[in-house]
């Protein structure tokens, strides 16, 4: 009797235990399905028009990134040129001397930073271009947002192709597992021509859709003028003169005008004015220093007084200005000078000259750091006029060339050029480009390369420019390593 | 659904009571057969039933037993006795000490086991050894004590040391082991006072750890805190006071030497050589005080036992203004509700307060030029701007300006109920909680200290993080002896949820008059910023274990754990983790009875599979990046920017560790000499790695997937000698060492190489993980001397080099120095770790000397590599640098820039060290005197912790650590310090 009772009890115990464990199992999947805390999930993104807007906004935000506007950008585009030296004090960020002297090697970290910064912008644009078309939203807004993304994809590829030559041409979003799949891995470098062709295509499509201007709340977004202007510049680099002429004339019909006083262009009050075609927008957002992150002005600000003092304008640049050129004083901040805003530049500043286009008066807040409010001028009407002049001259249309060239000269307080041969005019336009755009948007080094005289000009200043090598920078070694050697190095490096 | 789950699991709690039988009352006394001393808490049970009791403080028991039944009397370290009742009412029993009971009992997961029955590799450290260390963190007390366990200390007060068991078992994450305190899983042990710990067991091999399945890939550290014993009432006081001083401070250049170097480097007279010197380390370091007090009480009656303690620690940091204060309290009580029902709880509470220092203060002091004065003549802080050497923070200004207090509380508790039924079954349910809160308040005042240390608006930042976790475990144990067979079987379930919440708010312009003003709502509302994040993950597991012993000679342990974790996608969520261990106590065999050399010989072999849960939650779910930097600004207004900047691996599954362990245990000369040797091969398969994506994909962060397989293989040996020379003099010497070799055996991705280990300057990566080499090996150029002159440069493969630069070896002889010339230049995985622990006692004096060290390990001297500009140099560099042809063929010139900073073996240094870990002299006051004071014991001691460390490395400490794929890169210069204590142990 006892035994039977025991065995029943035992069996029931086993039965109940089994049920309990089985029950646990059946409810366990609920217990184990845990949503990530506090993070929006990718699968719920790109669903609404608001998401499309946020994704496009991220492309603008990324432009302010350190790699895109600070050391890497300034080193590659400006310190390399005849307009500026490394600056700051000897030894400080000594690796930038390699850009100043054109002795950069593939492992130089700034190269990798520049590469990654541009491609991160390209990915943000590719995400938009891949995912936004499927979103159910206002179609005209959608078209505009896609056009903005194309503009920036082109902008970043243009930066890459100028700096490195042909680069991997990535037009789609990274897929999960892609890097593990050798078939998909290791996109080789596309040819320079293919990269340019893609840039042109993106800019053309963008220009067709983008509006000429925006309401105040959207001031600073890419416009039709920006896309046409960028396209003109891209064509300029490819010496497609007729295209440049047509595009610049088209922009000249969009209502832009020169700012009467050159100095005003670079002040905070002059941001997005009627001469402006595209600027990287920056501001101090009170309490949010993470978003107030543009260090373009701080890196170049007067050392000790405002900023770090890199990118020291050269004496050669000072001498490039003609007598009476108002732009000299607006471009270069001299040790000991008093600015129109009343700041006295210290006599004991370590560098004789600083970039005045990166000057932000001391009354502007520095709560997130110096100069966080300064926009970076990427493209303005004066450059469009100079591109027009250059194209017209190359096409033999001297009158047209002189007309637009002189608009820029006269605004700077200089006498107009009355006449010149094509060769003379070419040099005059190149000279005008230099002094008009110096230390501003990072064109000078690439202009010299484009004009085929980089070796001549830079070697004369003692820089180690080697023809057939230094026209482009080395592909970052880290990228070659990651690609397992599929990415090839540029000649001479 | 959740409710149903609970109901169902309640079934597991069902209690099956045994039956009462016709019985007679029996009483008696249990004593030690040789001394006659009563044995307190001995178990007295009726064979074949669940009836049982324990002896009281006088060794007496009372039990109702069947008149024809048999009593079984058991006591730890004594042989069991079986006495037929034979209708007697009084039965006194003498128990014989078990001659084999030198064998201590060790704690294994979900139970205890006699050491001699263990088939895996388990190391045990007792309270006695821990309290000898007078250290604040129990983990650092283990350093040098356990073979195969590498501990890397941090000098920061309150910080937890890094611990590695048998090499790095996983690549991503911390590679820290699982900590289990009284059955509750915790992240570290910094909340525990070492004096509260009864024992620490380290489960090293896979078969011991497999019962913890998915959590155990990096080993398990089981901590058992003290529990009260019936009748054994005592009150203890343990305390020490001491001082901490920095040892091995790295000598930096003085102002004159610095100026010389900078002028040499820049080729101009940039700095005058007659400036006064500031020794920044001298300026910011101090001798720090430490005190630690703990009072504990334990005892109880037959039905209730308790243990309680309270402790206080106050430790100053070696940096001015740094202070850490900790209060710990613990209460444990067990209740015997009836003969077969027991309940109890255990609660540990801790509270800390800390005055913090800037996180990069040692870095600041390391790089700050010695020409900058602490203060200028006008009383302002010395400013790097005045010297044109680049931007450097004034470290003193940083300390003075920094105002941060943090505090935290944590409660770790556990309650259990245990029922014995049907004679051989024990059901136990336990619920553990771990609740913690951490807070900090940081206030940066509006100030302008130097040209690089200023704030135009004050900033108040406050943060709070909360952790809640619960763990519910149920086990059913079956214990039975059938003749020559002894079986213990265990079945269990475990469910756990962990939740973290983190909240940080900041605001500008809070007006500060006192700390009472530090509230976020008192600032400028326009500047409110809130950041919050969280984490949640769950586990569900079933497990079982069988221990089987046949004839006390043949041992088997088999476990199986079936684990699931929310950290993995549902397709790959569940995994089995089996293990098996075999033991053969050869010494028990007939053929061993005639030999006289060995007193113990046991052979062990085990195999097991473990998982690793030390990965972030939900890494298989694609997140949206919401960082503030993605916000766009139009017309001065910020608009949110969000986008997808990552990819996640489509398939992600368990990384598993499979380990084989072969061990032998031996005893000689009456077990005065014992030795234990283990060989292991531990393979981490499909380890989850972070892969640096190709730049053109434009991603941020890493791509994580099951990318690599690697193994740790090694040998561990422990040898102990214990003897007495006379009645007055006893001594012991213990030696332990371990060799470990790490090798990557497989990689799943296309390019077969992972680069990690970022160096401070220039985006270089120095660590490589590739097949055939150790994980995170150093990879770079071999330095083949220094270019002495222009001719040598011109004739070399480095045409852009300058005299004084490194000449790199052209390994492929193509006359170009490039990536193809890079090779493995060092291994940061420690190859040999050892400890020597000695004790000596003479009458009332006791003496301890512990030595510990590591060798066959490399460090990448990333500090020396910090050359953005005009950072300070070490004296060693000044003394040995190249200054012209023939001056040095090893050290470069002061112009350490450009390709000199490419990863190369100049920066690779030996990380070998040997250290006096603990030196202690104690004195027990004479018993007669102490008894007069009403005490049982009174001991005083002085001790020195880490007084001397010998090493060649040109840094502050050879203990560098780091995550496996980028370990051993010294970018942190927290100096080592020695502690000198005076302490008292009193027992009332």
Nearest to B446 by CA among A289, A303, A367: A367
Task: Report residue A478 CA to chain centroid gap.
Answer: 21
> What is the C-alpha to C-alpha distance for residues A128 and A208, in angstroms, rounded to an integer?
18
CATH of residue B218: 2.170.130.10
Overall domain count for chain A: 2
- Is residue A375 within 8 A of residue A272, CB to CB? The reply is yes
Note which residues in 429-488 of chain A have CB less than 8 A from chain B: 476-484
Give the pLDDT band of residue B98 (cuts 50, 70, 90).
low
Tell me if chain B has a CB within 8 Å of the CB of A283: yes
- ipTM attached to this prediction: 0.92
| Candidate from B529, B698, B800 with C-beta closest to A123 | B698
Is residue B58 located within the same domain as residue B161? no
Judged by CB atoms closer than 8 Å, whether chains meet at B691 and A181 is answered as no
For residue B185, being part of any structural domain is answered with yes
Give the 3-state secondary structure of B421-445.
Answer: ECCCEEEEEEEEEEEEEEEEEEEEC
Task: Report residue A351 CA to chain centroid gap.
Answer: 27
Is residue A365 located within the same domain as residue A472? no
Is residue A203 located within the same domain as residue A99? yes
Judged by CB atoms closer than 8 Å, whether chains meet at A481 and B639 is answered as no
pLDDT in tens, B498-517: 999 999 999 999 999 999 99
Judged by CB atoms closer than 8 Å, whether chains meet at A32 and B270 is answered as no
> What is the C-alpha to C-alpha distance for residues B153 and A138, in angstroms, rounded to an integer?
60
Is residue A359 located within the same domain as residue A476? no
The residues, ordered by sequence, that sit 6+ positions from A264 with a Cβ below 8 Å of its Cβ are A270, A273
Is residue B48 located within the same domain as residue B125? no
**Sign, Cα dihedral of A390, A396, A397, A403:** positive
Q: Taking CB atoms and an 8 Å cutoff, what residues of chain B touch A21?
A: 12, 493, 542
Nearest to B311 by CA among B353, B363, B349: B349
Is residue A357 located within the same domain as residue A492? no
List alpha helices for B412-531, DSSP H.
none
For residue B464, being part of any structural domain is answered with no
- Kindly tell me if the per-residue pLDDT of B547 is higher than 70: yes
Q: Taking CB atoms and an 8 Å cutoff, what residues of chain B touch A116?
A: 695, 698
Nearest to B736 by CA among B678, B668, B796, B807: B678
Is residue B77 located within the same domain as residue B146? no
Tell me if chain B has a CB within 8 Å of the CB of A40: yes
Is residue B216 located within the same domain as residue B176? yes
> What is the C-alpha to C-alpha distance for residues B263 and B256, in angstroms, rounded to an integer?
11
For residue B119, being part of any structural domain is answered with yes
A63, A168, A180: best mutation site toward chain B, by most B Cβ within 10 Å? A180
pLDDT in tens, B466-500: 999 999 999 999 999 988 899 999 999 999 999 99
Is residue A346 located within the same domain as residue A487? no
- Point out the domain boundary residue: B99, B126, B154: B99
For residue A295, being part of any structural domain is answered with yes
> What is the C-alpha to C-alpha distance for residues A257 and A252, in angstroms, rounded to an integer?
8
Judged by CB atoms closer than 8 Å, whether chains meet at B748 and A218 is answered as no
DSSP structure class, residue A356 = G
For chain B, how many helices (H) and strands (E)?
Answer: 11, 50
pLDDT in tens, B696-754: 999 988 888 888 899 999 999 999 999 988 888 999 999 999 999 999 998 876 566 78
Is residue B88 located within the same domain as residue B109? no
Overall domain count for chain B: 2
For residue B877, being part of any structural domain is answered with no
Other beta carbons within 10 angstroms of residue A214's beta carbon come to: 17
For residue A204, being part of any structural domain is answered with yes
For residue A395, being part of any structural domain is answered with no
Range of the domain at A339: 282-316+335-374
Which pLDDT does position B751 carry in this prediction? 61
CATH of residue B75: 2.60.40.1120
> What is the C-alpha to C-alpha distance for residues B693 and B701, in angstroms, rounded to an integer?
8
**Sign, Cα dihedral of B54, B58, B62, B66:** positive
For residue A11, being part of any structural domain is answered with no
pLDDT in tens, B164-193: 898 888 877 678 899 999 888 888 888 888
- Across the range B978-983, mean pLDDT stands at 93
| B274-285 residues labelled b (16+ CB within 10 A) or e (exposed) | ebebbbbbebbb
- Is residue B71 within 8 A of residue B30, CB to CB? The reply is no
- Is residue B584 within 8 A of residue B555, CB to CB? The reply is yes
Range of the domain at B58: 23-99
Which pLDDT does position B13 carry in this prediction? 39
| Candidate from B529, B565, B623 with C-beta closest to A36 | B623
Judged by CB atoms closer than 8 Å, whether chains meet at A16 and B493 is answered as no
For residue B932, being part of any structural domain is answered with no
- Across the range B96-125, mean pLDDT stands at 78
For residue B790, being part of any structural domain is answered with no
> What is the C-alpha to C-alpha distance for residues B238 and A114, in angstroms, rounded to an integer?
60
Nearest to B422 by CA among A16, A17, A7: A7
Pairing of strands B404-421, B425-444: antiparallel
> What is the C-alpha to C-alpha distance for residues B359 and B489, in angstroms, rounded to an integer?
51
Beta strands in B529-640 (DSSP E): 529-550, 554-565, 574-584, 598-611, 632-634, 637-639
Nearest to A310 by CA among A62, A95, A463: A95
Nearest to A282 by CA among A68, A47, A26: A68
Other beta carbons within 10 angstroms of residue A195's beta carbon come to: 23
- Point out the domain boundary residue: B53, B70, B99: B99
CATH of residue A112: 1.25.40.890
- Point out the domain boundary residue: A347, A374, A401: A374
* Range with lowest mean pLDDT among B5-9, B252-256, B620-624, B849-853: B5-9
**Sign, Cα dihedral of B889, B891, B895, B901:** positive
Is residue B123 located within the same domain as residue B203? yes
The residues, ordered by sequence, that sit 6+ positions from A331 with a Cβ below 8 Å of its Cβ are A313, A317, A355, A356, A357, A435, A438, A439
The residue of chain A with its CA nearest to that of B707 is: A180
Pairing of strands B220-225, B178-181: parallel
Burial class (CB in 10 A: 0-12, 13-18, 19+), A130: middle
Residue with tokens 């308790």: B306
pLDDT in tens, A21-33: 545 555 677 888 8
- Kindly tell me if the per-residue pLDDT of B19 is higher than 50: no
For residue A139, being part of any structural domain is answered with yes
The residue of chain A with its CA nearest to that of B629 is: A291
Residue with tokens 């190095």: A489
Shortest Cα distance from A13 to chain B (angstroms)?
8
Look up the pTM and report it. 0.84
Residues of chain A with pLDDT under 70: 1-27, 177-185
Other beta carbons within 10 angstroms of residue B383's beta carbon come to: 21
Nearest to B920 by CA among B944, B946, B903, B953: B944
Which pLDDT does position A177 carry in this prediction? 64
pLDDT in tens, B395-444: 999 999 999 999 999 999 999 999 999 888 999 999 999 999 999 999 99
Is residue A191 located within the same domain as residue A297? no
For residue B214, being part of any structural domain is answered with yes
Backbone angles phi, psi at B114, to 5 degrees: -75, 140
For residue B902, being part of any structural domain is answered with no
Shortest Cα distance from B442 to chain A (angstroms)?
15
A189 or B91: which leads in pLDDT: A189
The residues, ordered by sequence, that sit 6+ positions from A9 with a Cβ below 8 Å of its Cβ are B16
Which pLDDT does position B692 carry in this prediction? 81
Shortest Cα distance from A87 to chain B (angstroms)?
11
Shortest Cα distance from A401 to chain B (angstroms)?
35
Nearest to A282 by CA among A362, A358, A206: A358
For residue A236, being part of any structural domain is answered with no
Burial class (CB in 10 A: 0-12, 13-18, 19+), A203: buried
Backbone angles phi, psi at B518, to 5 degrees: -85, 70
- Is residue B926 within 8 A of residue B939, CB to CB? The reply is no
For residue A274, being part of any structural domain is answered with no
SS3 B210: helix
Is residue B165 located within the same domain as residue B150? yes
Rg (CA), chain A: 28
> What is the C-alpha to C-alpha distance for residues B24 and B150, in angstroms, rounded to an integer?
58
Q: Taking CB atoms and an 8 Å cutoff, what residues of chain B touch A218?
A: 634
């Amino acid at each position: 009797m006892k035994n039977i009772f025991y065995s029943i009890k035992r069996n029931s115990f086993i039965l109940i235990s089994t049920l309990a464990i089985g029950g646990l199992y059946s409810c366990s999947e609920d217990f184990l399905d845990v949503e990530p805390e506090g993070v929006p999930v990718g699968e719920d993104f790109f669903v609404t028009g608001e998401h499309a807007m946020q994704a496009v906004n991220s492309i603008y935000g990324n432009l302010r990134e350190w790699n895109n506007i600070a050391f890497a950008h300034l080193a590659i585009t400006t310190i390399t040129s005849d307009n500026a030296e490394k600056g700051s004090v000897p030894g400080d960020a000594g690796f930038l001397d390699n850009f100043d002297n054109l002795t950069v090697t593939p492992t130089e970290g700034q190269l990798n930073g520049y590469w990654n910064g541009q491609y991160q912008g390209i990915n943000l644009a590719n995400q938009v271009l891949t995912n936004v078309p499927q979103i159910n939203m206002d179609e005209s807004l959608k078209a505009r947002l896609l056009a903005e993304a194309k503009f920036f994809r082109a902008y970043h590829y243009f930066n890459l192709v100028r700096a490195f030559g042909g680069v991997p041409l990535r037009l789609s979003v990274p897929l999960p597992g892609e890097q593990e799949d050798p078939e998909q891995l290791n996109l080789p470098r596309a040819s320079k021509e293919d990269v340019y062709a893609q840039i042109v295509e993106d800019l053309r499509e963008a220009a067709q859709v983008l509006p000429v201007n925006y309401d105040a709340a959207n001031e600073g977004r890419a416009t039709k003028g920006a896309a046409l202007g960028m396209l003109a510049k891209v064509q300029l680099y490819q010496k497609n003169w007729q295209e440049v002429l047509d595009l610049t004339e088209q922009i000249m019909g969009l209502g832009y005008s020169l700012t009467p006083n050159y100095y005003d262009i670079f002040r905070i009050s002059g941001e997005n004015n009627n001469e402006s075609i595209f600027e990287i927008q920056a501001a101090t957002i009170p309490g949010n220093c993470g978003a107030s992150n543009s260090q373009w002005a701080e890196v170049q600000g007067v050392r000790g007084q405002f900023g770090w003092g890199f990118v020291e304008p050269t004496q050669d640049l000072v001498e490039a200005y003609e007598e009476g050129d108002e732009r000299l004083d607006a471009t270069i901040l001299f040790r000991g000078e008093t600015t129109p805003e009343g700041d006295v530049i210290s006599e004991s500043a370590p560098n004789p000259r600083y970039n005045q286009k990166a000057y932000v008066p001391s009354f502007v807040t520095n709560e997130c750091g110096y100069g966080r409010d300064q926009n970076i001028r990427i493209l303005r009407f004066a450059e469009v006029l100079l591109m027009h002049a250059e194209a017209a001259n190359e096409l033999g249309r001297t009158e047209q060339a002189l007309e637009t060239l002189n608009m820029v000269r006269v605004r700077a307080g200089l006498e107009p050029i009355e006449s010149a041969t094509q060769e003379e005019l070419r040099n005059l336009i190149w000279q005008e480009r230099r002094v008009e755009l110096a230390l501003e948007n990072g064109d000078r080094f690439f202009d010299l390369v484009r004009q085929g005289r980089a070796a001549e000009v830079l070697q004369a200043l003692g820089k180690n420019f080697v023809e057939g090598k230094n026209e482009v920078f080395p592909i970052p070694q880290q990228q070659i390593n990651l690609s397992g050697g599929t990415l090839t190095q540029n000649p001479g490096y | 659904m959740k409710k149903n789950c609970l109901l169902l699991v309640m079934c597991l709690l069902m209690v099956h009571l045994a039956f009462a039988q016709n019985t007679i009352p029996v009483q008696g006394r249990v004593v030690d057969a040789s001394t006659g001393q009563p044995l307190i808490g001995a178990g007295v049970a009726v064979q074949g039933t669940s009836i049982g009791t324990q002896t009281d403080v006088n060794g007496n028991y009372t039990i109702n037993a069947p008149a024809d039944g048999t009593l079984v009397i058991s006591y730890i370290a004594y042989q069991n006795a079986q006495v037929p009742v034979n209708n007697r009412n009084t039965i006194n029993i003498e128990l014989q000490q078990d001659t084999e009971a030198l064998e201590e009992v060790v704690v294994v997961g979900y139970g205890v086991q006699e050491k001699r029955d263990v088939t895996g590799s388990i190391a045990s450290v007792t309270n006695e050894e821990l309290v000898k260390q007078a250290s604040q963190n129990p983990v650092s007390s283990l350093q040098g004590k356990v073979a195969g366990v590498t501990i890397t200390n941090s000098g920061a007060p309150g910080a937890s040391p890094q611990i590695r068991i048998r090499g790095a078992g996983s690549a991503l994450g911390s590679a820290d082991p699982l900590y289990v305190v009284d059955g509750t899983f915790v992240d570290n042990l910094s909340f525990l006072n070492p004096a509260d710990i009864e024992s620490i067991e380290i489960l090293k091999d896979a078969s011991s750890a497999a019962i913890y399945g998915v959590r155990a890939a990096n080993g398990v550290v089981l901590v058992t805190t003290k529990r009260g014993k019936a009748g054994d009432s005592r009150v203890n006081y343990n305390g020490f006071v001491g001082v901490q001083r920095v040892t091995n401070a790295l000598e930096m250049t003085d102002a004159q030497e610095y100026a010389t170097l900078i002028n040499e480097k820049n080729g101009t007279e940039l700095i005058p050589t007659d400036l006064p010197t500031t020794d920044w380390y001298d300026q910011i370091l101090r001798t720090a005080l430490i005190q630690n007090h703990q009072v504990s009480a334990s005892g109880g009656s037959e039905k209730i036992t308790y243990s309680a303690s309270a402790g206080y620690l106050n430790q100053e940091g070696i940096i001015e203004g740094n202070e850490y204060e900790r209060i710990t309290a613990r209460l444990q009580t067990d209740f015997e509700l009836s003969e077969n029902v027991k309940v109890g709880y255990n609660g540990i509470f801790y509270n800390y307060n800390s005055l913090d220092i800037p996180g990069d203060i040692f870095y600041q002091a390391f790089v700050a030029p010695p020409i900058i004065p602490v203060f200028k003549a006008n009383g302002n802080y010395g400013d790097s701007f005045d010297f044109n050497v680049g931007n450097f923070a004034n470290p003193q200004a940083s300390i003075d300006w920094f105002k941060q207090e943090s505090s935290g509380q944590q409660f770790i508790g556990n309650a259990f109920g245990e029922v014995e039924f049907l004679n051989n079954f024990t059901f136990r349910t336990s619920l553990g909680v771990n609740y913690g809160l951490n807070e900090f308040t940081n206030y940066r005042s509006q100030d302008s200290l130097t040209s690089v240390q200023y704030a135009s608006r004050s900033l108040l930042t406050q943060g709070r993080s909360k952790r809640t976790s619960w763990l519910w475990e149920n086990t059913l144990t079956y214990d039975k002896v059938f003749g020559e067979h002894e079986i213990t079987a265990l079945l269990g379930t475990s469910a756990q949820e962990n939740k973290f919440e983190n909240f940080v708010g900041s605001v500008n312009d809070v007006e500060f008059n006192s700390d009472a003003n530090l509230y976020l709502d008192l600032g400028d509302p326009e500047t409110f910023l809130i950041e919050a994040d969280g984490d949640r993950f769950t586990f569900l597991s079933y497990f079982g274990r069988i221990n089987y012993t046949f004839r006390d000679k043949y041992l088997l342990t088999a476990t199986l754990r079936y684990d699931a974790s929310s950290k993995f996608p549902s397709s790959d969520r569940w995994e089995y983790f089996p293990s098996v261990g075999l033991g053969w106590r050869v010494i028990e065999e007939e053929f061993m009875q005639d030999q006289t050399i060995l007193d113990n010989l046991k052979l062990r072999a085990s195999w097991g599979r473990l998982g690793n849960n030390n990965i972030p939650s939900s890494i298989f779910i694609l997140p949206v990046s919401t960082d503030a930097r993605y916000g766009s600004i139009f017309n001065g207004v910020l608009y949110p920017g969000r986008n997808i900047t990552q990819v996640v691996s489509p398939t992600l599954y368990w990384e598993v560790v499979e380990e084989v362990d072969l061990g032998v245990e031996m005893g000689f000369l009456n077990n005065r000499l014992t030795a234990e040797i283990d060989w292991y091969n531990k393979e981490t398969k499909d380890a989850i790695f972070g892969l640096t994506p190709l730049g053109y994909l434009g991603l941020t962060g890493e791509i994580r997937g099951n990318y690599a397989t690697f193994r740790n293989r090694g040998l561990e040996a422990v040898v102990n000698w214990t003897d007495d020379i006379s009645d007055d003099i006893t001594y012991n010497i213990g030696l332990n060492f371990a060799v470990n070799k790490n090798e990557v055996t497989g990689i799943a991705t296309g390019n077969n190489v992972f680069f990690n280990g970022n160096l401070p300057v220039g985006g270089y990566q120095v660590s490589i993980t590739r097949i055939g080499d150790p994980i995170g090996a150093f990879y770079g150029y071999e330095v083949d001397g220094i270019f002495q002159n222009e001719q040598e440069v011109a004739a070399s493969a480095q045409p852009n080099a300058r005299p004084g630069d490194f000449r790199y070896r052209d390994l492929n002889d193509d006359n170009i120095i490039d990536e193809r010339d890079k090779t493995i230049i060092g291994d940061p995985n420690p190859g040999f770790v050892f400890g020597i622990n000695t004790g000596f006692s003479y009458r009332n004096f006791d003496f301890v000397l512990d030595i510990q060290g590591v060798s066959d390990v490399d460090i990448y001297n990333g500090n020396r590599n910090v050359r953005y500009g005009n950072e300070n140099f070490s004296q060693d560099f000044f003394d040995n640098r190249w200054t012209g042809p023939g001056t040095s063929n090893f050290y470069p010139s002061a112009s350490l820039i450009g390709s000199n900073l490419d990863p190369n073996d100049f920066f690779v240094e030996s990380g070998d060290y040997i250290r006096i870990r603990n030196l202690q002299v104690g004195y027990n006051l004479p018993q007669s005197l102490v008894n007069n004071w009403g005490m049982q014991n009174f001991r005083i001691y002085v001790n020195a912790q880490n007084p001397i460390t010998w090493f060649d490395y040109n840094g502050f400490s050879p203990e560098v650590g780091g995550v496996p794929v980028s370990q051993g890169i010294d970018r942190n210069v927290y100096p080592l310090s020695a502690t000198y204590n005076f302490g008292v142990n009193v027992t009332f």
